[in-house]
């Protein structure tokens, strides 16, 4: 813009005001107009150039933006693909872990079954063979005792042999029962538990009662019955060893698809979360129940007695799938 203190209109007006008489005044006016026009054209074209430049810049900025956007899109696509790959890897790993875990559980169950079979075999041998031999020994000792020709001093010794032989027979029988309760096979779970609880109470002098409901007709899966029997065995052993209880109650009930066993004592209790990790009884119970498809909870606190609760599938189909 030309620096001009007087505006074009003023100059035009100045040029025309009463100066018609002055030669050259029209010429001057035209000069002014022409120069103004020239500067207008100048200015306009300069504006056009500026607009062109601005437009160019705008276009360049747009292009840059478009390129940045494309680059971003490419990065996003890349990251998405990476994430998809990572996801797939994780899924594969999870599947593999699940497979390994399943195989481990199947193996453990197989081991538990094998162990139970082995115990059953040893228990049978103990009962049928060792037990029979001891019974024969006992009879033979009685026969010798009945022999009138025996010197009197031998009678005392013979009585001692008889006592040891009877004690051996009792211990072998107990060992066989502990190893594998034939009662479980012969009497079913309620009968076997009845025997176990009564024997335990007589042996320890601790009062015990048993209540079974809902198991009058159908039997539970063999693995579940064995697990429940073992839980009662270990829970009662713990009561005798640790609880100083006066009374224990054992209840077993079946409700729909679940069998629930509760062993509750009124003893001194303990803190289940502070059990020495080297102790295997509670761990073994938990393991056995878990393998049979159930769960075990121990509720106790010092001074408040102990309750062991096992929940197991009452139905073969509810147990873990055989692998
Ligand atoms: N019924 C119970 N009353 C009191 N304490 C118990 C009872 N059952 C378990 N305990 C406590 O829990 C611990 C762990 O039990 P367990 O795993 O069976 O091992 P263990 O009987 O060989 O000591 C016991 O040492 C005892 O302190
Ligand atoms: Mg124990």
What are the residue ranges spanned by the domains of the chain?
Answer: 187-323
| DSSP annotation string for 91-126 | HHHHHHHHHHHHHHHHHHHHHHHHHHHHHHHHHHHI
Within 147-286, strands assigned E span 207-213, 247-255, 258-265
Q: Give residue 3's pLDDT.
A: 46
What's the pLDDT score for residue 146? Answer: 85
Query: In this structure, which ligand is nearest to the CA of 242?
Result: 1
Write the residue with the smallest CA distance to atom 18 of ligand 1. 281
**Which atom of ligand 1 is closest in space to residue 239's alpha carbon?**
1
223 vs 221: CA distance, rounded Å: 6
Q: For position 219, what pLDDT does the model report?
A: 87
Tell which atom from ligand 1 comes closest to the C-alpha of 238: 8
- Residue-wise pLDDT tens for the chain (323 aa)? 444 444 545 544 444 444 444 556 777 878 888 888 888 888 888 778 888 888 888 899 889 999 999 999 999 999 999 999 999 999 999 999 999 999 998 888 888 888 888 888 888 788 778 888 888 898 888 888 888 888 888 888 888 999 999 899 888 888 887 777 777 888 889 999 999 999 999 999 999 999 999 888 888 988 899 899 999 999 999 999 999 999 999 999 998 899 999 999 999 999 999 999 888 899 989 988 998 899 999 999 999 999 999 999 998 654 444 43
CA 297 to centroid of ligand 2, rounded, Å = 15
Name the residue of 239, 263, 268, 281 to mutate for ligand 1: max ligand atoms within 8 A of Cβ: 281
Closest ligand to 303 CA? 1
* Token duo for residue 188: 């079913």
Tell me the residues surrounding ligand 2 (ion) with CB < 5 Å: 238, 281
> 42, 34, 33: which is closest to 9 by C-alpha?
33
Report the atom number in ligand 1 closest to the C-alpha of 308.
1
Residue 315 CA to ligand 2 centre (angstroms) = 28
Ligand nearest to the CA of 301: 1
CA of 181 to the centre of ligand 2 (A): 19
Distance CA 151, CA 153 (A): 6
Q: Is the dihedral of CA 97, 98, 103, 105 positive or negative?
A: positive
Identify whether the C-beta of residue 106 lies closer than 8 Å to the C-beta of residue 116.
no
Give 187-323's CATH code, choosing from 3.40.50.1110, 3.30.565.10, 3.40.630.10, 3.10.129.10.
3.30.565.10
C-alpha distances in angstroms, 285 versus 54, 171, 184, 272, 291? Answer: 83, 25, 18, 14, 10
Cα–ligand 1 centroid distance for 242 (angstroms): 6
Give residues (CB < 6 A) around ligand 1. 238-239, 241-243, 265, 267-270, 275, 279-282, 306
Residue nearest to atom 16 of ligand 1 (CA): 281
Sheet of 247-255: strands edge to edge?
A: 207-213, 247-255, 258-265, 306-313, 295-300
b or e along 15-42 (b: 16 or more beta carbons within 10 Å of the residue's beta carbon)?
Answer: beeeeeeeeebeebbeebeeebeeeeee
């Amino acid at each position: 813009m030309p620096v001009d203190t007087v505006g074009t209109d003023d100059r035009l007006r100045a040029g025309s005001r009463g100066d018609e008489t002055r030669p050259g005044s029209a010429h001057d006016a035209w000069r002014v107009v022409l120069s103004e026009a020239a500067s207008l054209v100048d200015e306009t074209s300069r504006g056009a150039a500026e607009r062109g430049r601005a437009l160019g810049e705008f276009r360049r900025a747009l292009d840059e933006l478009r390129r940045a956007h494309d680059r971003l899109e490419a990065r996003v696509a890349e990251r998405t693909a990476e994430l998809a790959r990572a996801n797939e890897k994780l899924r594969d790993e999870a599947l593999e872990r699940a497979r390994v875990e399943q195989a481990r559980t199947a193996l453990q169950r197989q081991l538990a079954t094998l162990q139970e079979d082995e115990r059953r075999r040893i228990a049978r041998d103990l009962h049928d063979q060792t037990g029979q031999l001891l019974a024969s020994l006992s009879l033979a000792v009685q026969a010798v005792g009945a022999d009138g020709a025996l010197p009197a001093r031998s009678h005392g010794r013979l009585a001692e042999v008889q006592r040891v032989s009877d004690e051996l027979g009792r211990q072998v029988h107990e060992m066989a029962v502990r190893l594998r309760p034939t009662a479980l096979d012969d009497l079913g779970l309620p009968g076997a538990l009845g025997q176990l609880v009564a024997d335990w109470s007589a042996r320890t002098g601790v009062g015990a009662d048993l209540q079974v409901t809902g198991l009058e007709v159908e039997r539970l899966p063999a693995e579940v019955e064995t697990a429940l029997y073992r839980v009662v065995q270990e829970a009662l052993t713990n009561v005798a060893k640790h609880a100083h209880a006066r009374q224990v109650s054992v209840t077993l009930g079946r409700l729909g698809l679940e069998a629930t066993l509760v062993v509750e004592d009124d003893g001194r209790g303990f803190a289940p979360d502070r059990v020495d990790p080297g102790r295997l009884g509670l761990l073994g119970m938990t393991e056995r129940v878990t393998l049979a498809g159930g769960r075990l909870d121990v509720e106790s606190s010092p001074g408040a007695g102990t309750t062991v609760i096992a929940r197991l599938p009452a139905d073969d189909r509810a147990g873990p799938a055989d692998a």
